[in-house]
Amino acid sequence: MQGKRVLVTGGAGFIGSNLANHLAADNDVVAVDDCYLGTPENLGDAVEFRDASVLDDDLPTEGVDILFHLAALSSYQMHEDEPVRGARVNVEGFVNTVEQAREDGCDTVVYASTSSIYGDRTEPSPEDMDVEARTGYEASKLARERYGEYFSYHYDMSMAGMRFFSVYEGFGGSEEHKGEFANLIAQFADDIANGEPPVIYGDGTQTRDFTHVDDVVRGLELAGDHELDGIYNLGTGESYSTNTLVERLNEELGTDVEPEYVENPIPEKVYVHDTMADSSKMKEATGWEPEVSFEEGLARVCSQYE
């Protein structure tokens, strides 16, 4: 992608800042963030930062060629604590931003959805399988997908909804500001490196398809370049248990820190125990494949502690 005017909402957040910094090398990038969870310190000098909410009526959409909409309340607990705010930011904020971009002539949108809606899956999850909303967070992301269909059908816009799988980078990247909301890899690596036991919910057999943010950024850029429409998975197609994660981090860090097992505070009926992506649709559409292996990703995360 080159020579484009790009708007990234949630642009000071974890994934958003990685995307904004990457695209700013060859494009005119403006990042919008209300700093609820993001921090402008994540952004390089080449990115224009605007402190604004996706609920505002004067977003900087003029002249924008591609909108990357990543802004969201991004966890189960955030939506339980403030369900109305969650709906406003994740659903109304999405419609508000896309509508302003559309009115200013932008017809290409790439936006964040979630893999949580697949529920428990030890087999790869394809985009066309049945999904359901069991939490407010999942409901808000499914609502986005439905509004994406509306904008695509009614206005002939390219609306690519990207279902992310456990995206990580580590506290040495842009995850540190997220604290308890950061990916388990970042949290556990920091705990173990500092000699503190990582806290595991349940027995540690739950699995995740851990996907490095560099691969996700490439996927987002390709989705914009190809003006994709519809829903696409971004994941590795491999899953690792929480127990395995702790073992591998100890090996990488040269430590021997035992985890602490606690009762899962998230109700069992809504807790997603296993995830794994089927990203063949994205590969067929763009050629995208994950390039950062689990081993290499852990090495990158742990390298800051050397």
What is the residue-level pLDDT of the chain in tens, covering all 306 positions? 899 999 999 999 999 999 999 999 999 999 999 999 899 999 999 999 999 999 999 999 999 999 999 999 988 888 989 999 999 999 999 999 999 999 999 999 999 999 999 988 889 999 999 999 999 999 999 999 999 999 999 999 999 999 999 999 998 878 888 888 889 999 999 999 999 999 999 999 999 999 999 999 999 999 999 999 999 999 999 999 999 999 999 999 999 999 999 999 888 888 889 999 999 999 999 999 999 999 999 999 999 998
Q: Tell me which DSSP letter residue 182 carries.
A: S
Domain 5-167+211-236+276-286 belongs in CATH node 3.30.1360.100: no
242-253 and 294-303 helices cross at what angle (nearest 10)? 50
Pairing of strands 167-168, 28-33: unpaired
Do the beta carbons of residue 30 and residue 91 sit within 8 Å?
no
Name the CA dihedral angle for 210, 216, 217, 221, rounded to a multiple of 10 degrees.
Answer: 170
Among 162, 289, 287, residue whose Cα is nearest residue 232: 162
Output the CA angle 168-194-190, nearest 5 degrees: 5
Q: Where are the alpha helices (DSSP H) in 114-208?
A: 136-155, 184-193
CB contact set of 128 (below 8 Å; sequence gap of 6+): none
**Backbone phi and psi for residue 112, each to the nearest 5 degrees, phi listed first:** -85, 125
Contact partners, residue 121, CB within 8 Å, separation at least 6 = 274, 275, 276
Angle between helices 184-193 and 294-303 (to 10 degrees): 50
57 phi/psi in degrees, rounded to 5: -100, 10
Q: How far apart are CA 236 and CA 259, in angstroms?
A: 26
Residue of 129, 99, 105, 101 whose CA lies nearest to 117: 129
pTM of the model: 0.95
Count CA atoms closer than 13 A to 236's CA, side-chain side.
21
Comparing 5-167+211-236+276-286 with 169-206+239-274+292-303, is the CATH topology the same?
no
Question: What is the C-alpha to C-alpha distance for residues 228 and 282, in angstroms, rounded to an integer?
Answer: 9
pLDDT in tens, 30-68: 999 999 989 999 999 999 999 999 999 999 999 999 999
> Where in the sequence numbering do the catalytic residues fall?
137
CA proximity to 88, closest of 133, 58, 53, 112: 53
Sign of torsion over alpha carbons 180, 91, 221, 51: negative
- Half-sphere exposure in the Cβ direction for 219 (13 Å, CA): 34
**DSSP state letter for 118:** G
Separation CA 202–CA 265 (nearest Å): 9
CATH superfamily of 169-206+239-274+292-303: UDP-galactose 4-epimerase, domain 1 (3.90.25.10)
Domains of the chain, residue spans: 5-167+211-236+276-286, 169-206+239-274+292-303
